[in-house]
Amino acid sequence: MSNASLTTGAEAHEAQFGDYFELLKPRVMRLVVFTALVGIATAPVSVHPVIAFAGLVCIAVGAGAAGALNMWWDQDIDAVMRRTTGRPIPSGRVAGDEALAIGVTLSVFAVVMLALFANFLSAAILAFTIFFYAVIYSMWLKRATPQNIVIGGAAGSFPPMIGWAVATGGISVESVMMFLVIFLWTPPHFWALALFRNDDYVEAGLPMLPVTSGERVTRNQILAYTMLVVPVSIALGVSGVGGPLYLAGAVVLGLVFLHGAWRLWRREEAAAAADSYRAEKQFFAFSIVYLTLIFGLLLAEAILAAFGLAPAGWPKLI
């Protein structure tokens, strides 16, 4: 290859390391790492910090790889939606084929290394998570059904189960409940976003619930899923990973979250449009705070227990 060919064409906008890193959806990765960390920390088996760290790196890379595969597959709709036009592929910084290669390579790498670092069960769940997000959600459900984010939400719900499996090598009722909290939280979170970003989804032709069934149905469903996630979160308080601090926090946070969902349910489309979906944006923002604090409180309980500060005789009803 001549020197001239190296400096022409696509290389005019050479992709930088940060562009490739952006393919891994670092913001999503943060939540994945945090919930996986809580899964490891709350497990009844202590795990060496180096193994825990190595496991978290693998989970983060695996989640990032799934994000890269999602960006490769969705490059056509990402180019249409305002929220996603700045992503590395639609903005022309990274080629689609490169994203595919990075996604596949890092997926295999993360799963194999997690199997070697921790155990086969955690690696198997990570592999299933990547497959579920990239194939079941991105390639199939997202463009096919308004229930896309309900079923697809499972992919984002697995990290605490993977973390728990890294520590224990197994699955238990506590890890399944942590999965359920994220799984039931996902629909209200994304549908609130879909309410005030409806135009984006219409333009991209995605069958999000507000697009296919209207705002009224979406508001009903937001309330219904919020009414499900709150009791599950509270029930975790009397499980093996709960405690008084968590229980009190989960009740207060649950009431605030329910109040927000109730407010959305009472609003009509005209009122929401009149104030530019203020309540919907607030509910969306609080949903992030809610999940972060729920898992933060679980982590706090694990830290208290590690220092022998957890109250003896706390009921473990689940």
6 binds another protein (CB under 8 A): yes
Q: Which amino acid is at 282?
A: Q
| Residue indicated by tokens 């309540």 | 279
Give 101 or 255: the residue with its C-beta nearer to another protein. 101
* Burial (0-12, 13-18, 19+ Cβ within 10 Å), 182: buried
- The radius of gyration of the chain's CA atoms, rounded to the nearest angstrom, is 21
Least Å from the CB of residue 113 to another protein: 8
**What mask of x and - would describe binding to another protein in positions 38 to 77, judged by CB under 8 A?**
----------x-xx-xx--x--------------------
Give 48 or 270: the residue with its C-beta nearer to another protein. 48
- Of 93, 71, 87, the C-alpha closest to 12 is 93
Residue selected from 8, 10, 14, 313 as contacting another protein according to rule CB under 8 A = 14
Give 109 or 131: the residue with its C-beta nearer to another protein. 109
CA distance 136 to 145: 12
Residues 128-187 that bind another protein (CB under 8 A): none
11 binds another protein (CB under 8 A): yes
Residues 103-122 that bind another protein (CB under 8 A): 117
Residues contacting 95, CB < 8 A, separation 6+: 10, 15, 89
DSSP labels for 11-27?
Answer: GGGPPPHHHHHHHT-HH
17 binds another protein (CB under 8 A): yes
Residue 153's SS3 state is helix
3 binds another protein (CB under 8 A): yes
Question: Where does this chain bind another protein (CB under 8 A)?
Answer: 3, 6-7, 11, 14-18, 20-21, 48, 50-51, 53-54, 57, 117
